[in-house]
């Protein structure tokens, strides 16, 4: 069963086509990266996959259900999501441990819940995995940006989702924070029992080794999509970003540089 299936999907707001004619299938063992410039439609695509948005036209199927024919409040707990918008909902005074464990109850932070041993054990394991166990009693507002990003991912994984969506997890990180995050995401990508994963980014340097598929978006349309080795090419990347680019891959990591001067294609 496909985890995500989109057929002929358009998203229109006023006179603006945010997405046009999207065809996309994500299988359970896929790890996708979605690349494109600002305004390409990447976040809109992720909102569809998170059951937070319905298409204007076309069909979106998530985890065997069709949007528009399913209660999204039953579907969303099966999907893990990290994004800047969700991070803004976390109170600075909430502790890291409460932020992670409360995800099993679809709330942000502890209120009146009483967690059982299984919940606390899983939260502890995830915090250890994402390098934040030592901050379990620290307020969210005192964490570094990298620690906050890893807290959000641990929280997204707490309910054991079938699909994990990561909206620009590397945004705002310094070099050390980015490299730590990419290494941990690479480990997750190669873990047999991990959920299907979709990572949105502007930067090829943030693609973790182990990601199997790629989609390139520009102006709301899919430039190309498929196996990462076939999609991530000089020509496709240049078409997507509108300038001449050279892509290099070393030890599973990508870098891109401009070829020629300003305006060169």
Residue 94 domain-assigned (yes or no): yes
Contact at 8 Å (CB) between 3 and 56?
Answer: no
Residue 174 domain-assigned (yes or no): yes
Instruction: Give the DSSP letter string of 149-201.
Output: HHHHHHHHHTT--SEEEEESTTTT--HHHHHHHHHHHHHHHT-TTPPEEEEEE
The residue with tokens 């599973």 is 252
Contact at 8 Å (CB) between 239 and 256?
Answer: no
Binning pLDDT at 50, 70 and 90, where does residue 156 land? very high
What's the whole-model pTM score? 0.93
Residue 264 domain-assigned (yes or no): no
pLDDT in tens, 172-189: 999 999 999 999 999 999
pLDDT in tens, 20-74: 999 999 999 999 999 999 999 999 999 999 999 999 999 999 999 999 999 999 9
Residue 23 belongs to what domain range?
4-258
Residue 75 domain-assigned (yes or no): yes
CATH at residue 230 = 3.40.50.300
Region 208-217 average pLDDT = 98
Mean pLDDT of the chain: 93
Contact at 8 Å (CB) between 163 and 81?
Answer: no
Biggest distance spanned by C-alpha atoms of the chain: 61
Residue 265 domain-assigned (yes or no): no
Please check the confidence at residue 247 and state whether its pLDDT lies above 70.
Answer: yes
Please check the confidence at residue 245 and state whether its pLDDT lies above 60.
Answer: yes
pLDDT in tens, 122-146: 999 999 999 999 999 999 999 999 9
| Residues linked to residue 246 through DSSP beta bridges, in sequence order | 257
Please check the confidence at residue 193 and state whether its pLDDT lies above 60.
Answer: yes
Please check the confidence at residue 149 and state whether its pLDDT lies above 60.
Answer: yes
Burial label, 260 (beta-carbon count in 10 A; 0-12, 13-18, 19+): exposed
Residue 165 domain-assigned (yes or no): yes
Give the number of domains in the chain: 1
The secondary element (H helix, E strand) that includes residue 87 is: helix 84-87
Please check the confidence at residue 112 and state whether its pLDDT lies above 70.
Answer: no
* Residue of 254, 257, 259, 219 lying closest to 240 (CA atoms): 219
Residue 263 domain-assigned (yes or no): no
Q: What percent of the chain has pLDDT over 90?
A: 86
Residue 44 domain-assigned (yes or no): yes
pLDDT in tens, 85-105: 888 889 999 999 999 998 866
Please check the confidence at residue 262 and state whether its pLDDT lies above 90.
Answer: no
- pLDDT of res. 30: 98
């Amino acid at each position: 069963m496909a985890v995500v299936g989109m057929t002929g999907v358009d998203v229109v707001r006023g006179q603006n086509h945010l997405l046009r004619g999207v065809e996309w299938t994500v299988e359970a063992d896929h790890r996708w990266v979605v690349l494109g410039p600002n305004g390409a439609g990447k976040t809109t695509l992720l909102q569809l996959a998170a059951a937070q948005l319905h298409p204007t036209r076309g069909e979106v199927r998530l985890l065997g259900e069709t949007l528009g024919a399913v209660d999204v409040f039953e579907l969303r707990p099966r999907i893990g999501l990290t994004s800047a918008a969700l991070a803004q909902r976390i109170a600075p005074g909430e502790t890291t441990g409460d932020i992670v464990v409360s995800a099993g109850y679809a709330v942000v932070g502890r209120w009146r819940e009483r967690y059982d041993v299984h919940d606390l054990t899983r939260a502890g394991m995830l915090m250890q995995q994402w390098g934040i166990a030592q901050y379990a009693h620290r307020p969210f507002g005192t964490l570094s940006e990298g620690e906050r990003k890893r807290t959000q991912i641990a929280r997204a994984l707490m309910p054991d989702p079938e699909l994990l969506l990561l909206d620009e997890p590397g945004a705002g990180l310094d070099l050390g924070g980015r490299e730590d995050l990419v290494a941990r995401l690479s480990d997750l990508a190669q873990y047999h029992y991990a959920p299907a994963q979709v990572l949105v980014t502007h930067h090829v340097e943030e693609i973790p080794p182990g990601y199997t598929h790629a989609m390139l978006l520009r102006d709301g349309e899919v430039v190309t999509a498929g196996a990462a080795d076939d999609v991530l090419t000089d020509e496709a990347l240049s078409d997507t970003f509108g300038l001449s680019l050279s892509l290099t891959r070393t030890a599973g990591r990508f870098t891109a540089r401009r070829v020629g001067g300003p305006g060169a294609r």
